[in-house]
Amino acid sequence: MYDLEYQKALTDYLEGFVSERRKGRLVEVLAERTNHLTVVLEDVYQSHNFSAVLRSADIFGIQNIHFIENRNKYKISEDVSMGSTQWLTLNRYQKFENNTRECITQLKNKGYRIVATSLNERSVTLDQLKVDKPIALIFGTELTGISEDVQDMADEFVYLPMFGFTESFNISVCAALCMHELSTKIRSQVPNYKLTDAERKEIYLEWLKVSVKKHDLMIKEFDATYFKDKT
Q: Domains, the chain, ranges and CATH?
A: 35-221 (3.40.1280.10)
Higher pLDDT, 230 or 29: 29
pTM of the model: 0.90
State residue 121's pLDDT score.
81
Average pLDDT over residues 129-143: 90
Those residues with Cβ within 8 angstroms of residue 66's Cβ, 6 or more apart along the chain or in another chain: 38, 39, 40, 41, 91, 92, 93, 103, 107, 136
State residue 231's pLDDT score.
64
CA-based torsion, 219, 62, 79, 23: positive or negative: negative
b/e sequence 11-46, b meaning 16+ C-beta within 10 Å: eebbbeebeeeeeeebeeebeebbbbbbbbbbbbbb
Higher pLDDT, 229 or 39: 39
State residue 48's pLDDT score.
77
Q: What is the 3-state composition of the chain as percent helix, strand, coil, each rounded to the nearest 5?
A: 50, 15, 35
Quick check: 119 pLDDT over 80?
no
Q: pLDDT for 4-27, tens place per residue?
A: 999 999 999 999 999 999 999 999
